[in-house]
């Protein structure tokens, strides 16, 4: 475990990172080409989103063959080359294992559809009721979570898209198949794994209607989830590997169990409560300005709570399912640079393992799409329809999708200022924001004060400073609205961190004088104790 404390992970959304053959779609050879760039960032691990054989209804999170590369992204030989090249540069890949469900195109599901009882038991088939579906549960992408198969006279469960059928983890044969897939990729030299929505794998023994919610309380952190994760770690031989579980609507108590080293389940977890502080009444599709009091209190709860019980967090504000944090929480125009840096500093100095999502290290913003035809994501398209059906005007629906669409985080990587941002020589599968003409890697490489340079520094600091990798964390609560402040301590060393997430000046109190350690306003020297005025989006870090 300790091994990952000094590490930083870089997440690649394969489809949008680098296209090597001009078909407008990112691919494995594109990744190999850009490995020196990742090396120059100083990251240790690279998490790639799924590139396995798939009908791509959910961009690869609908896997039809876990052991084969989809031809759209390359070949197994390309994959082996990519792994070997990263290895040579001293970086390891973490592959994305989507084990809660398979694509309905998977051989197992096809056999189930033919009525083969062995394979029907790989999935969750149930009889309907007088009201229709077995329960009233709602899919995460909208609509019923059950789909009727006329030829079988039964429904199957799909917590996500209708083409993503949930696996039956209560069946030991399923668990054995999945452990075998882990061993297969370990054999190819993979250093770690990310497990998609892995806290949803254990369903209740009895399926019942949810009259309070969408059904999630019955299957989130379900009855046997810890037992199944221990089994996967043991059977897959995951000791010493870096593993991260994506935990949907989870609890602190469960995340402690998932990650406490004595439990032998996972090395760390992604939880999402801090990325719901701008959901109105918990509804992603209802807009609200971010509540920074709530954000501060969630960080305090999760950071201190995991620390007290020896749990370990993955630290992130961006991924391929989220709008860009810089656009969502801060100011992505007037204070573009300051905003990107304050958000980076806020999480990279916390206790946990930081993840950099492609493009955040140069300050890529939300997409700014103006019409529904620009969107590609199945969730955005479904919810646009649902919002329209619920009576929203076209403009209202577009505003909501514009803020919340996952496509915001999926626009192609901005390598340079040319027409397609250096991502492809063809037509990109998803539009690229206009601002790529200024916000791009090539530009930032030339600027010693760039966002990119700041990220490089943060990655290096985590390796150099035990107070960052191993220090304890304590949150300061007596701070003005919009400021998040914490102290890291290790032996005699202390770091005091203040992040002003607003466009207003804020007064904070420096408890003890120290040296300026890090700033996004280019200050230096000794800082005396006493009151200080934080500028808009200022990050101030003092070392004692
Ligand atoms: O996402 C799980 C998930 O529930 C959310 O991140 C979800 O996309 C969001 O809350 C919807 O509002 C994982 C993958 O990261 C995502 O890309 C897949 O679509 C999903 O699982 C299904 O495999
Ligand atoms: Ca390609």
User: For the segment 231-275, what is each residue's pLDDT rounded down to a tens digit?
Assistant: 999 999 999 999 999 999 999 999 999 999 999 999 999 999 999
Residues 6+ apart with CB under 8 A from 382: 141, 142, 143
Contact 345, 499 (CB under 8 A): yes
| CA–CA separation, 353 and 484 (whole Å) | 19
* Nearest atom, ligand 1, residue 404 CA: 12
Ligand 1 neighbours by CB, cut-off 6 Å = 58, 61, 98, 140, 160, 196-197, 246, 248, 284, 320-321, 379
Write the pLDDT tens digit of every residue in 131-161: 899 999 999 999 999 999 999 999 999 999 9
Ligand found nearest the CA of 21:
2
Between the CA of 251 and the centroid of ligand 1 the distance, in Å, is 17
Mutation choice for ligand 1 from 96, 164, 321, CB with most ligand atoms inside 8 A: 321
> What pLDDT, on a 0 to 100 scale, did the predictor assign at position 515?
95
Cα 151 off chain centre by: 38
**Structural tokens at position 139:** 């899919």
User: Is the alpha carbon torsion for 68, 72, 77, 81 positive or negative?
Assistant: negative
Write down the pLDDT at residue 3: 74
User: Which residues are known to be catalytic?
Assistant: 196, 246
Cα of 246 vs centre of ligand 1, distance in Å, is 9
- For residue 155, what are the β-bridge partners? 126, 148
What is the structure's pLDDT at 523?
74
Pocket test for ligand 1, best of 61, 286, 314 (most atoms within 8 A of CB): 61
Distance CA 192, CA 84 (A): 15
- DSSP 8-state code for residue 89: T
Of 32, 8, 29, 30, whose CA–CA distance to 17 is shortest?
30
Distance 379 CA to ligand 1 centre (A): 9
User: Which atom of ligand 1 lies closest to the CA of 100?
Assistant: 23
Give Cβ neighbours of residue 324 (< 8 Å, ≥ 6 apart): 318, 332, 359, 360, 364, 365, 366, 408, 409
Tell me which residues of the chain have a pLDDT lower than 50: 1-2
Looking at the CA of 428, name the nearest ligand: 2
Residue linked to tokens 């994305």: 96
Q: Which ligand is nearest to the CA of 405?
A: 1
Q: Ligand 1: which atom is nearest the Cα of residue 248?
A: 4
Contacts of 42 (CB under 8 A, 6+ apart): 8, 456, 459, 460, 463
Per-residue tokens: 505? 């000046």
Q: Which two tokens stand for residue 445?
A: 């490489």
Q: Are 467 and 517 in contact (CB under 8 A)?
A: no
Nearest CA to ligand 1 atom 20: 61
Cα–Cα distance for residue pair 118/100, rounded to 1 Å:
18
Of all atoms in ligand 1, which is nearest to the CA of residue 161? 22
Residue to probe by mutation, ligand 1, list 196, 216, 275, most atoms within 8 Å of CB = 196
CB-based contacts of 231: which residues, under 8 Å, 6+ apart?
175, 179
Atom of ligand 1 nearest to the CA of 379: 11
Per-residue pLDDT at 524: 76
Q: How far apart are CA 287 and CA 487, in angstroms?
A: 32
Residue with the smallest CA separation from ligand 1 atom 18 is: 61
Residue nearest to atom 23 of ligand 1 (CA): 61
Cα 489 to ligand 1 centre (Å): 35
C-alpha 453/C-alpha 444 separation (Å) is 8
Distance from CA of residue 278 to its chain's centroid? 17
* Encoded tokens for 184: 């297969």
**What is the pTM assigned to this prediction?**
0.97
CA of 139 to the centre of ligand 1 (A): 11
Spatial distance between the Cα atoms of 158 and 147, rounded to a whole number of angstroms: 7
- For residue 140, the CA-to-ligand 1 centroid distance in Å is 8
Interatomic CA distance for residues 186 and 445, integer angstroms: 35
Query: Which residue has the least CA distance to atom 6 on ligand 1?
Result: 321
User: Could you tell me the distance, in angstroms and rounded to a whole number, from the CA of residue 471 to the centre of ligand 2?
Assistant: 43
Which residues, chain by chain, have CB under 5 Å from ion ligand 2?
19, 21, 23, 25, 27
Q: Which helix (H) or strand (E) holds 515?
A: strand 514-519
In this prediction, residue 1 carries a pLDDT of: 45
Ligand nearest to the backbone CA of 429: 2
- The CB-side HSE value for 177 (13 A sphere, CA atoms) comes to 20
Cα(174)–Cα(410) distance, integer angstroms: 32
């Amino acid at each position: 475990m300790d091994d990952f404390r000094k590490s930083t992970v870089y997440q690649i959304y394969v489809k949008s990172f680098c296209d090597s053959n001009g078909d407008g779609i990112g691919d494995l050879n594109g990744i190999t080409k850009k490995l020196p760039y990742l090396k120059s960032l100083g990251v240790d691990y690279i998490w790639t989103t799924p590139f396995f054989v798939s009908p791509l209804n959910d961009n690869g999170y609908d896997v039809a063959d876990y052991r084969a590369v989809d031809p759209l992204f390359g070949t197994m030989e390309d994959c082996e080359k990519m792994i070997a090249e990263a290895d040579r540069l001293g970086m390891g890949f973490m592959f994305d294992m989507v084990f809660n469900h398979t694509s309905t195109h998977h051989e197992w599901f096809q056999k189930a559809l033919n009525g083969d009882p062995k394979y029907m038991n790989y999935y969750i088939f149930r009889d309907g009721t007088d009201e229709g579906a077995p329960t009233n549960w709602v899919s995460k992408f909208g609509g019923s979570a059950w789909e009727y198969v006329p030829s079988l006279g039964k429904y199957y469960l799909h917590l996500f898209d209708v083409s993503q059928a949930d696996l039956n983890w209560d069946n030991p044969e399923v668990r054995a198949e999945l452990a075998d897939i882990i061993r297969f990729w370990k054999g190819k030299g993979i250093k770690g794994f990310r497990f998609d929505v892995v806290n949803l794998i254990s369903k209740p023994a009895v399926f019942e209607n949810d009259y309070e919610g969408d059904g999630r309380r019955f299957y989130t952190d379900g009855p046997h989830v810890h037992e199944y994760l221990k089994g996967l770690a043991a059977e897959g031989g995951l000791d010493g590997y870096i593993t991260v579980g994506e935990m949907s609507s989870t609890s602190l108590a469960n995340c402690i169990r998932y990650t406490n080293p004595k439990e032998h389940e996972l090395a760390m977890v992604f939880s999402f409560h801090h990325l719901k502080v701008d959901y109105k009444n918990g509804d992603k599709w209802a807009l609200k300005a971010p509540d920074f009091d709530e954000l501060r209190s969630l960080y305090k709860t999760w950071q201190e709570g995991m620390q007290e019980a020896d749990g370990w967090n993955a630290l992130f504000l961006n991924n391929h399912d989220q709008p860009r944090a810089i656009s969502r929480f801060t100011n992505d125009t007037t204070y573009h640079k300051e905003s990107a840096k304050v958000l980076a500093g806020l999480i990279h100095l916390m206790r946990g393992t930081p993840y950099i999502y492609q493009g955040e290290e140069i300050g890529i913003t939300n997409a700014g799409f103006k019409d529904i035809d620009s969107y590609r994501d199945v969730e955005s398209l479904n919810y646009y329809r649902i919002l329209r059906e619920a009576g929203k005007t076209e403009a209202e629906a577009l505003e909501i999708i514009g803020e919340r669409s996952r496509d915001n985080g999926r626009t192609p990587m901005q390598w340079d200022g040319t027409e397609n941002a250096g991502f492809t020589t063809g037509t990109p599968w998803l539009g690229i924001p206009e601002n790529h003409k200024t916000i791009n890697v090539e530009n930032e490489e030339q600027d010693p004060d760039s966002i990119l340079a700041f990220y490089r520094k943060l990655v290096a600091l985590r390796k150099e400073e035990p107070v960052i990798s191993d220090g304890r964390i304590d949150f300061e609560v007596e701070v003005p609205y919009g400021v998040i402040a914490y102290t890291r301590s290790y032996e005699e060393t202390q770091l005091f961190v203040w992040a002003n997430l607003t466009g207003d000046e804020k007064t904070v109190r420096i408890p003890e004088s120290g040296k300026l350690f890090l700033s996004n306003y280019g200050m230096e020297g000794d800082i005396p104790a006493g009151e200080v005025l934080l500028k808009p989006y200022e990050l101030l870090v003092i070392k004692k």
